[in-house]
Amino acid sequence: MVKLSVEEIIKKIQNEETFEAVSNDYSFTLKIEKYTHYACAAVHDGHQFRKELWKNCLHTEYERWFEEDPATKEMVKSHPIVIAGCDSRFEYDLNRAPETAIYTDAWGKQLWKKPLPKEMHEKSLQKHANFYKVVQALISKLEEKFGVCVVYDMHSYNWKRWTREVPTWNLGTSNINNHRFGNDIESWRKILSETPFFKDIKSTAKINDTFQGNGYFLKYITQNFQNTLVIATEIAKIYCDELSQIIYPEVVATVEKYLKTELKKHATTFYKTHQLNG
């Protein structure tokens, strides 16, 4: 992995170079092993939190971790194109529009002791803007090269806070073209419902059961690109103990191994189905 500026990353994409890089401000990573008709994203994987913000933050390190999506990058690491956030959503949320990306409160609790100074605010929003410059360049290249593209937008959610039974996997589809891509969504749901977890973990998958796919990452790509499907894919945090902050690596490895083959198969079927009809 190398450290590159946003301009250097974009130039490499435009030239169809393969590389693995971290942005020069360490806010996100991008790996392109080869140019393919699909990509994976883990925008909430990051846990970094700028030290200059620590004293002003009312949320503990654990409270931040609890609302992040740890290990979601790990689950898709084997795929050829992976973009992931490094910073905590508590600094700025890549899955929110710029005007709401910096929280004033989070999950019912005020976030800052004092309002953020303008320079702190602007520093975080510049990272947000840089990420989407790269997303724009990446999806532009994939649509140019393949005509159609599918992006697996990986997230996780805290199932223990729900008072009813919730699915292991949830797909959010309220902001995509369900008439055009409905069969692709259903086939992905079915694949996920068959994830071979250990016997004490059920594998269920539903559509718009806990979340509806209202994130900015999905909306940004969907609104700016006519032939790219973004599938908001949420896994319940059955791969960790939410209350003691312990990751279960054997469960993460199970998901990663399954998606290594099944996600690729799904993306291939998507491409074969839509490349002529794009």
- Backbone φ and ψ of 225, nearest 5°: -135, 125
pLDDT digits (tens, 9 = 90+) for 75-118: 999 999 999 999 999 999 999 999 999 999 988 889 999 999 99
- % of the chain exceeding 90 in pLDDT: 93
pLDDT (0 to 100) of residue 181: 97
Angle between helices 118-146 and 216-224 (to 10 degrees): 50
pLDDT (0 to 100) of residue 278: 47
pLDDT (0 to 100) of residue 42: 98
pLDDT digits (tens, 9 = 90+) for 175-187: 999 999 999 999 9
Task: Tell me how far the alpha carbon of residue 54 is from its chain's centroid.
Answer: 25
What's the CATH fold of domain 2-274? Aminopeptidase (3.40.630)
Distance between CA atoms of residues 257 and 210, nearest Å: 25
- Mean of pLDDT values over 15-32: 98
Rg (CA), the chain: 18
pLDDT (0 to 100) of residue 85: 98
Length of the chain: 278
- Mean of pLDDT values over 249-267: 98
Indicate the helix (H) or strand (E) that contains 73.
helix 72-75
What 3-state class would DSSP assign to 187? Answer: helix
Q: How many CB atoms lie within 10 A of CB 238?
A: 21
Distance between CA atoms of residues 82 and 67, nearest Å: 21
- Mean of pLDDT values over 25-46: 98
Residue 162 has pLDDT above 90, yes or no: no
Q: Taking the chain, what is the end-to-end CA distance rounded to the nearest angstrom? A: 34
pLDDT digits (tens, 9 = 90+) for 211-248: 999 999 999 999 999 999 999 999 999 999 998 999 99
Residue 163 has pLDDT above 90, yes or no: no
pLDDT (0 to 100) of residue 161: 85
Residues 6+ positions from 57 with CB-CB distance below 8 Å: 49, 90, 111, 112, 113
Average pLDDT score, the chain: 96
Nearest to 274 by CA among 37, 116, 41, 92: 37
- Mean of pLDDT values over 45-65: 95
pLDDT (0 to 100) of residue 277: 57
Distance between CA atoms of residues 247 and 249, nearest Å: 6
pLDDT (0 to 100) of residue 276: 60
